[in-house]
Amino acid sequence: MRTATLSRVLYRKPLLRLGSLLSLPLLWLVIAYLGSLAAMFLTAFWTVDAFTGNPVPGFSLGNFGSLFSDPTYLAVAARSLGVAAGVTVIDAIIALPLAFFMAKVASPRAQRFLVAAVLTPLWASYLVKAYAWRVMLGGSGVLDWMIGGGSQSYYGLTATTVTLAYLWLPYMILPVYAGLERIPNSLIEASSDLGASAWRTFRSVILPLLFPAVVAGSIFTFSLTLGDYITVKIVGGKSQLFANVIYDNVVTADNLPFAAAAGLFPVAVP
Amino acid sequence: MILSRRARILLFVAMMLGLAVIYVPLLVVVVNSFNSSRTFGWPPSGFTLDWWARTIDNAGMLQALLTSVEAGIGATAVALVLGTMAAFAVQRFKFFGRDTISLLVILPLALPGVVTGIALNNAFRAVLQPFGISLSLFTVIVGHATFCIVIVYNNVLARLRRLGGSLEEASMDLGADVFQTFRFVTFPLIRTALLSGGLLAFALSFDEIIVTTFTAGPGVTTLPIWIFSNLFRPNQAPVINVVAAALVILSVLPVWLATRVGGESAGGRI
């Protein structure tokens, strides 16, 4: 009987229904998640007590000051941006023909198969993919065997760029593929009818229309690269990227205010 | 689009190269797990099942696997409830700030893991510690659930959009109350979307390492954390190889299942 009453009340009052549906998700996401995010970025303005190492509330731009003036941090930031740009370029070069073939050349059946073939490894473990490149580039690994080197390993910044490009490749393929799907075939045919070669059509019709999709993919590759500190530990040799600065300041230096200030970088740049 | 034979062949070759880039590293990992050489040089010197047999009763690995499964189930359960509620609110109601909800839901997945991780770590230590709750499996589940919500949300939202509301209205017209309608009409219709969303959320949680690093207590080791801490130990290489190979094979399974049971798209992660 009581559920019937409750049901009647819920039925008559849509606002109550909406409120009860939204209550828990909002409680979780706004209070638990946005709350912690806000609190963290607030601590970016705090300082650290030199003796106890505890964060001291207050308002100071000191963390940002040292972040922007210390040449080490600037170098790491520049290096990370360079790696992110490299990752984006590699991904775009691989993704464009692949997505183009999927969207415009393959038969519908082959298309379904290809989408599944590209998407499935997206879900393969991140760590396993990075490890796969550690194996490929390691001493007497596949690369070493292919170029006939003397059992040496090839870890470093280039290895990191390649591995990150591998990890984020589906994040570029998917938006580009979706973008190509949205370009009507009639536009491409019209361009051909007007005498444009395939290359000219690609350059003057498809590429401009595809630009927003490539930008969307690049946002993924940039933000994911700038937030990653694990791949560089696995295949980077001794190199460091910007997220390592954040990580080390939390875990090793226990300087949360500085880490929070640094954490704004991968959020703000893309 | 009219493409010359040469352009078609070039595109096909580029696509096959792209697919090779995606799959070769994963294949190398799987092949290496049967490599009889202890240093895992390439090409493999022989075939052995020894490493697999040795890994299956590796106590540390089994404990980590169990922890990962527990965390995955916990996070998936929370994400199923919250994601479904949010999807219903957004799809069935018009209200101020509706678009913000979609943004809010995807934010934990869109922001770099290191930012989410530090924010949650900071909040847990500040809010929960005074109550005697320290970082533990519970905090890992909270962290994972936060970014798993969007997966369930996307799946259920897409299903609700396709269903429309007429079946539910018919059910109510025939005298069913709000709860009966949900139990006998809505739930059976969204069941497969819940199943595929749940599977994908589990896969995401199972694989996560960065947020886990910051939210796990000292004694909590999930499988990715265990792999990462053993990655640089040469004497553990055989075990790591087998675990990585098993994960490659296993990770394909939930995604394949999720698309089979009628998921909207495996690209829901993006």
Asked if the model's pLDDT at residue B44 lies above 80, the reply is: no
Q: Look at residue B41 in the predicted model and tell me its pLDDT.
A: 72
CB contact under 8 A, B14 and A29: no
| All residues at 6 or more sequence positions from B62 whose CB lies less than 8 Å from its CB, including other chains | none
Q: Which amino acid belongs to residue A205?
A: V
Closest by Cβ to B82, choosing from A28, A37, A132: A28
Is the minimum CB–CB distance between A131 and chain B shorter than 8 Å? yes
Q: By the 8 A CB rule, do B72 and B202 touch?
A: yes
ipTM of the modeled complex = 0.82
Burial profile A167-183: b = 16 or more Cβ within 10 angstroms, e = fewer: bbbbbbbbbbbbbbeeb
Asked if the model's pLDDT at residue A42 lies above 90, the reply is: no
Correct CATH for A71-268 of 3.40.605.10, 1.10.3720.10, 1.10.287.80, 3.30.365.10:
1.10.3720.10
**Rounded to a whole number, what is the largest CA-CA distance in chain B?**
72
CB atoms within 10 A of CB A205: 18
Domain boundaries of chain B, sorted by first residue: 60-269
CB contact under 8 A, A18 and B95: yes
Listed range (A12-16, A147-151, B73-77) with the worst mean pLDDT: A147-151
Q: By the 8 A CB rule, do B203 and A119 touch?
A: no
Asked if the model's pLDDT at residue B79 lies above 80, the reply is: yes
Q: Which amino acid belongs to residue A50?
A: A
Question: For chain B, what is the mean pLDDT?
Answer: 85
Asked if the model's pLDDT at residue B270 lies above 70, the reply is: no
pLDDT > 90 fraction of chain B, expressed in percent and rounded: 27
Between A49 and A221, the higher pLDDT residue: A221
Asked if the model's pLDDT at residue B77 lies above 90, the reply is: yes
Can you read off the two tokens belonging to residue B267?
Answer: 């690209």
Q: By the 8 A CB rule, do B88 and B190 touch?
A: no
Can you read off the two tokens belonging to residue B137?
Answer: 């499996």
Q: Mean pLDDT, to the nearest integer, of B41-70?
A: 85
CA atoms of A185 and A164, how far apart (whole Å): 33
Contacts of B149 in chain A (CB under 8 A): 25, 28-29
Contacts of A28 in chain B (CB under 8 A): 78, 82, 145-146, 149
Can you read off the two tokens belonging to residue A207?
Answer: 């590429």
Q: By the 8 A CB rule, do B118 and B214 touch?
A: yes
**Phi/psi zone of residue A70: left (φ > 0), alpha (ψ -120 to 50 degrees), beta?**
beta
Listed range (A21-35, A252-266, B76-90, B171-185) with the worst mean pLDDT: A252-266
Residues 181-240 of A with CB under 8 A from B: 185, 188-189, 192, 198, 201, 220, 223-224, 226-230, 234
| All residues at 6 or more sequence positions from A235 whose CB lies less than 8 Å from its CB, including other chains | A130, A133, A134, A137, A155, A159, A160, A163
Q: By the 8 A CB rule, do A47 and A259 touch?
A: no
Compute the C-alpha angle A195/A196/A197, nearest 5°.
115
Can you read off the two tokens belonging to residue A139?
Answer: 């001493």
Place of tokens 């919250």: B82
Correct CATH for B60-269 of 3.30.70.260, 1.10.3720.10, 3.40.980.10, 1.25.40.10:
1.10.3720.10
Q: Look at residue A90 in the predicted model and tell me its pLDDT.
A: 95
Is the minimum CB–CB distance between A81 and chain B shorter than 8 Å? no
Nearest CA in chain B to A37: B119
- Min Cα separation B115/chain A (Å): 6
CA atoms of A55 and A249, how far apart (whole Å): 13
Between A205 and A256, the higher pLDDT residue: A205
Q: Mean pLDDT, to the nearest integer, of A205-225?
A: 90
Domain boundaries of chain A, sorted by first residue: 2-33, 71-268
Residues 131-190 of B with CB under 8 A from A: 142, 145-146, 149, 172, 177-180
- Min Cα separation B36/chain A (Å): 15
Can you read off the two tokens belonging to residue A174?
Answer: 């998917």
Listed range (B33-47, B63-77, B173-187, B217-231) with the worst mean pLDDT: B33-47
